[in-house]
Amino acid sequence: MNLSDPSYPWVEAIVRLMRPGVGLIVLGTWAYLKLTNQPSDSVDNFASCVGFYLFGDRTLFYSRKGK
């Protein structure tokens, strides 16, 4: 598939979100929140999507819930 081919709008939006700059911001935000112990399910979910796209593994971004 060529990037100039027409596609569905949601596919184009996902491709734009997976650009290196956006991925770096998402993963950096996720790492900062983990290091400062500030839980955020939304950031965890978005980081797992980016991580799955980049690395094919979601388990890296799931955190264990506190007791």
Q: What is the pLDDT along the chain (67 residues), one digit of tens a residue?
A: 455 666 778 777 777 776 778 788 888 999 999 999 998 888 888 888 877 777 766 665 665 555 4
Q: What is the pTM of this model?
A: 0.57
Asked if residue 67 is part of any domain, the answer here is: no
pLDDT given at position 58: 60
63 touches 39 (CB < 8 A): yes
Predicted local distance difference test score (pLDDT) of residue 2: 56
Per the structure, the complete domain to which residue 56 belongs is given by: 24-61
pLDDT score recorded for residue 34: 92
pLDDT value at residue 67: 44
Number of domains in the chain: 1
Contacts of 59 (CB under 8 A, 6+ apart): none
Closest C-alpha among 21, 18, 65 to residue 40: 65
